[in-house]
A and B are shown apart, each in its own frame.
Chain A
């Protein structure tokens, strides 16, 4: 199996090299002098002005190095470090996500335990679930009147549904045998919920959380483009307004990396809660 892993790793690196090589070749300027000029212009923030188009990977890496060497600098609203911007975004996602956990897990629990409530609420959940979270934005801005809080609300509203549905499903499909064990031991409803149903449904609930945090991270970028001020979404939009395509590409890569880390963190948590029958 180790051989398989090594071969896969070699192939991975090879793909990357081919991709970067192709990118470099495609964006390479015809002349060496012009290339130097382009770099100079990028340093001055005028790069795209020359009509050079897409930046080469070397430019993106140069910018990445520069940005990552001082990730938390703050020189006014238009020049904040990438680390700082990501922290704003992750903070909003975690706030909205935590709120959604607090609301969705208990409600999902009740829905899962009561088939009547499940059937009664199901039509509303089915209608609310497919609504793009950004559609809530005007309503949020109108009622909350605060842009930052509105962004958190949008995260909350988009991450609540997968958790609600998964919690209800996990709770409803707890094995009858396990509930019978609790009944023959005369456990109270609360103890049954905490010590039998919750651990039995935990892996399903966590799957819902993982879906939710993935969607939240997708949505926060768009939400921050609308709301502005801070965050990685705002950073992307701001750099687009500056026509700094290298910075946009760099931000895109960082969004991917952070999203992967968020997902990995929840996957790791899931490993603790998973059980094998």
Chain B
């Protein structure tokens, strides 16, 4: 039955509260699927639990309910078939750039020779434009270069699923643009399956095949799955001139401003997939006029 590469079913996360208060449900009824090679972005306000979802997918946090199936197998706990790019790069500061990448490569393929590990790591450092800086320590690199090492490390272990938690959140706008381009270029070559969290609507449109929109927490759900069918390869400098760009952008921004709040705790239900929206074709778009249509009153 499971024909999708990744299936997330009825995921929920509750946190116990102090005293006699009922436990806090950060999100629930989270259902979505990802196909192999898809680039998924998740957008939502702070506190909707998007980082928690990513941590559960990474195996660093456990879901209170629900299941996560990848390649037909239920997954629990961390594993090398999922690579993570953390928000604050989390490089080991006592290792050089090369040391950080080969640390991961050696863990992934313990049977490899020293030379194999080195060459593989160097090729990924070169891919992110860090050839020549491989012997520098993270403290000697700029913020953008550190994040590039993090990207190289995550790509180098060739995971089945790449998880990114606001990878460019801590970078200045110019650096962010450059690294977005690089990421787009690398992704175009590897067609890695990516699940990425971002705050940045423009970044999501530039990178993603689909953008999942989350309502506010607590009791957050994934309300919509917006298809971005702007053809690839996409160019950051020209994408905003694409005729469909602002239709998509307005839809996303509109969600963040009004519907993320008005739909809080009111969409979705057990086993229900998020509403698939294509703002350009007008399919799945909620009623005009901003009145939220409650979907999934079945539960």
Contact = CB atoms under 8 A, between A and B. Distances in A.
Interface in B220-256: none
A175 B94 CA distance: 13
B169 interface: no
B88 A185 contact: no
Interface in A174-207: 175, 177-178, 180-181, 183-187, 191, 195-196, 199-200, 202
Contact of A196 (B82, B92, B108): B92
Contacts of B79: 184, 186
Contacts of A187: 107
A108 to B, nearest CB: 19
A175 B60 CA distance: 14
A275 interface: yes
Interface string B48-70: 00000000001110000000000
A183 B62 CA distance: 14
A184 B92 contact: no
Given A199-B92, A277-B93, A184 B139 contact: no
B88 A180 contact: no
B93 A195 contact: no
Contacts of B104: 181, 185
Contact of A186 (B78, B84, B103, B137): B78
B66 to A, nearest CB: 21
B187 interface: no
A276 B157 contact: no
B80 A178 contact: no
Contact of B137 (A175, A196, A276): A276
Interface string A261-277: 00000000000010111
Contact of B90 (A177, A195, A199): A177
Given A183-B78, A185-B80, A199 B88 contact: no
B90 A178 contact: yes
B84 A200 contact: no
Contact of A184 (B78, B88, B93, B94): B78
Contacts of A199: 92, 94
B157 A185 contact: yes
Given A184-B80, A186-B78, A195 B103 contact: yes
Contact of A276 (B59, B86, B88, B139): B139
Nearest to A175: B90
Contacts of A275: 93-94, 137, 139
B271 to A, nearest CB: 29
Nearest to A185: B107
Interface string A241-274: 0000000000000000000000000000000010
B92 A178 contact: yes
Given A180-B84, A275-B137, A276-B139, A185 B108 contact: yes
B94 A177 contact: no
Interface string A114-130: 00000000000000000
Nearest to B100: A181
B90 A181 contact: yes
Contacts of B265: none
A181 B90 CA distance: 7
Contacts of B217: none
Interface in B81-108: 82-84, 86, 88, 90, 92-94, 103-104, 107-108
B95 to A, nearest CB: 8
A180 to B, nearest CB: 6
Contact of B60 (A183, A195, A196): A183
A177 B88 contact: yes
Contacts of B78: 183-184, 186
A273 B78 CA distance: 30
A200 B94 contact: yes
Contacts of B59: 183-184
Nearest to B86: A177
Nearest to B55: A180
Contacts of B107: 185-187, 191
Contacts of A196: 92
B223 to A, nearest CB: 29
A103 to B, nearest CB: 25
8 contacts: A177-B88, A180-B84, A180-B90, A185-B107, A186-B80, A200-B94, A275-B93, A277-B139
Given A275-B93, A275-B139, 9 more contacts: A180-B86, A181-B90, A184-B59, A184-B78, A184-B79, A186-B79, A186-B107, A196-B92, A200-B94
